[in-house]
Structure 1
Amino acid sequence: MALIENIREILNNVGVVYNYQNKNDSRLAVNDRQGLLYLIDNVFEIYPLLTTNQRNRYNLLKTTLMNGTTHFKTLEGYEEYKSTFMLSNSVVWDLVELYESGNLQVDNWIIGFINGEGCFYLNKGRCSFMIEHTDKNALDLIKHRLNIGPSVLERSARSRDEGKARKTTYQLNISSKKDINTLIAFLDNKENIP
């Protein structure tokens, strides 16, 4: 809870912190127009979201706020608005190109992404790391930034996936000693937020 309160203070006290009674967990929710506009101007326009899905959802929220939309009469009306917006405004960035141009600071973002999506594990006694996501572009950026060997691969369907609708996901698997050491050095770099 103290961490969430600290984040809220840094964000000019926007939003409300909710603490769960049945588990040691809390969340920060920003639901008011002024708070959302503050976050747009002071966070997301300075530190853009990098995955395509999150960026598209953010742009939908931003456009809706800027247009002054306060509600939709029906769920179908919202879905129609959303699909029209996504068709006309979905932009895919080449993250590696943005990084190479110097227009993207990514080290702390990568650490956060790894924290949320990555997995260290032992495979036949060898340390390995795997990260899986629906945004291949994000994994390509991580591979490029770390200058590691393995390719980003499309995850093949597994037998448990048969008959299920599932999004295509991509994996970056690191198992060579050299690449694992590169990842460890990156994560241990004191200039990055742990």
Structure 2
Amino acid sequence: MGVALPLYLVTMASQNVPGVAVMRSLGYEVSWRASMATTGLGTMIGAPLGGHGVNLAAITAALAAGPEAGEDRQRRWIASTASGVVLVLCGLGATAFAQLIALAPEGVIPAVAGLALLGTFVASLRSALAEPEEQLPAGVTVLIAASGIAVAGISAAFWALLVGLALRALLRAWRRTGSAHSG
């Protein structure tokens, strides 16, 4: 629960909901129920085999369904198919790549991963802290997540989301009540 629930929320918020929105904005009709059933089934099939969650991949959807994939809307399926083939090829090469990574000296991979994510982390932090009224909930969320403290066997990521969202809702309600009383 400590990992699954935060991953579910992140996947829904960053891939599935934007994926449907992107497709609809490009003029394609997407059934929410059918797409969630399909991605859920794909995740259930892939999970025992070590696969990650299947989702609508908002960025890939935008690239494969948008004008960048060609002027003729009837032929944009080629971009989706090409994307799928490339991903399958990457998957087939993953074992060899994983073995190559296993040969790296201890500490190299976490260092490289940390460096690769540093830009994303800074951009995300900047965005989360851009609005003054969002700074406290965002800061508390980051601190709880970074603490690594698990409560009742549930990881810090879950508690960070829960406390951050609760604090955000509480502060918004407090501001609304405060502005109603000051008027």
TM above 0.5, one fold?
Answer: no
> Which of the two has higher C-alpha Rg?
2
